[in-house]
Amino acid sequence: MSVSFLVEAHDMPNDNVAMAAEVEEVMTPDPVKIEPLELHDMINGLASWYGADFHGRRTASGRRYNMNELTAAHKSLPFGTLIRVVNEKTGHAVVVEVTDRGPFIKRRVIDLSKAAAQKIGVSVSPVDLEGLTPEQVSRFYASNDSAVIGITSDMSIVVFPNNTLTDFREADSYSKAVASLKAGEVVVVKTSEKGKPSYAIARIAQPDELAYVFQ
């Protein structure tokens, strides 16, 4: 859409006629084009959890297991993958980071940390899963320079236009970022030079301008 204005010289003194000028055409910017974020299709099944007996032990990724962080074990997805887990019975959701391998019991598809299981009320329960691998994060940013991937406090995965976020601050890990969230903030999922996810926290400046929400 374009708008042009013309300053008319009617009834103006002759000396001021020269001051009348046509205002240059103003072009409104085109809407920001954002490529959709494709989430990894996953097999749904039963979720279980593991806790104090494994707390402090090394996981398959080399990290120490902390039952108070939002992590999970999965049989095959790359470490660093983010999985949105929804309790089929309650609809409660949590986003966890894959740091370990398992579970190795029939029909179980994911083993949650104690904190993640408590967040959605899981013991051994049916869940729906969606995954966001490090490769998918890298592909998204390769085709989008005007948007970022975010995770909201209600555990939705959202794509935000850059101009809707402000006050960025770095976070050491995904779990620490979630734990530090304040009202009106989101966890920003970024990608490093090595292709591994990194995280920040940002404030939502224009909450009505969300582009895509995956729920």
For the domain spanning 40-134, the CATH number is: 2.40.40.10
pLDDT in tens, 163-210: 899 999 999 999 999 999 998 999 999 987 677 789 999 999 865 555
pLDDT in tens, 75-125: 999 999 999 999 999 999 999 999 999 999 999 999 999 999 999 999 999
User: Which SS3 state, helix, strand or coil, does residue 145 take?
Assistant: coil
The answer to whether residues 174 and 199 touch, using CB atoms and an 8 Å cutoff, is: yes
188: nearest Cα among 152, 142, 136:
152
pLDDT in tens, 143-172: 888 999 999 999 999 899 988 999 999 999
16: Cβ–Cβ under 8 A, 6 or more apart, which residues?
A: 9
DSSP-derived letter for residue 64 is: B
Alpha-carbon distance of 71 to 80, in angstroms, equals: 10
Give the domain ranges of the chain. Answer: 40-134, 144-214
Q: Which of 12-26, 40-54, 163-177 has the lowest mean pLDDT?
A: 12-26
Q: Would you report the helix, strand and coil content of the chain in percent, each value rounded to 5?
A: 15, 40, 45
